[in-house]
Amino acid sequence: MSEQIGSAPAEVSSAVERRLADLGLSLPEVAAPVAAYVPAVVTGSTVYTSGQLPFVEGQMPATGKVGAEVSAEDAKNYAQVCVVNALAAVKAQIGDLDRVTRIVKVVGFVASDPQFTGQPGVVNGASELLGKIFGEAGTHARSAVGVAVLPLDAPVEVELIADFA
């Protein structure tokens, strides 16, 4: 997993980013939008991310349908990449991930072969990683939706809603 997302920076000041580093992960630059939207929006003390694709260093690591061209296990890993990308968008809006008080909701979209029914297992990649990063504050409401196709033929897309102080 760590080689897909990148290695951890040598020194970080945020406790959340230290937990990411302990997991062998680091925040990337915020992915540039692929259409007419922004990566995240703040209203009040809540930040909403747009759907994040599993870009790694600006590239899509795999394309196609889960259950056909992409395995469920690989897709679960890509859901983790999406979460890290979403957290980068959150940090860009609020400045410090230590300000996150709760991950409220996660929505995961899985580009699925018509016979594939394991969408919840794929999106567990996102949910489990958020639990490791934020502990109890990382538990959230969630939807895991199978779709015919995603932008750029991505196998998975994840968006999240987070409260912050």
At 58-112, the pLDDT tens digits run 999 999 999 999 999 999 999 999 999 999 999 999 999 999 999 999 999 999 9
User: Which tens digits make up the pLDDT trace of 7-50?
Assistant: 444 456 799 999 999 999 999 999 888 889 999 999 999 999 99
* Strand partners of residue 111: 147
First to last CA, the chain: 30
Predicted local distance difference test score (pLDDT) of residue 1: 41
Predicted local distance difference test score (pLDDT) of residue 5: 45
What predicted TM-score, i.e. pTM, was given to this entire model? Answer: 0.92
3-state secondary structure of 39: coil
d(CA 164, CA 123): 23
The number of helix segments (H) and strand segments (E) in the chain equals 4, 5
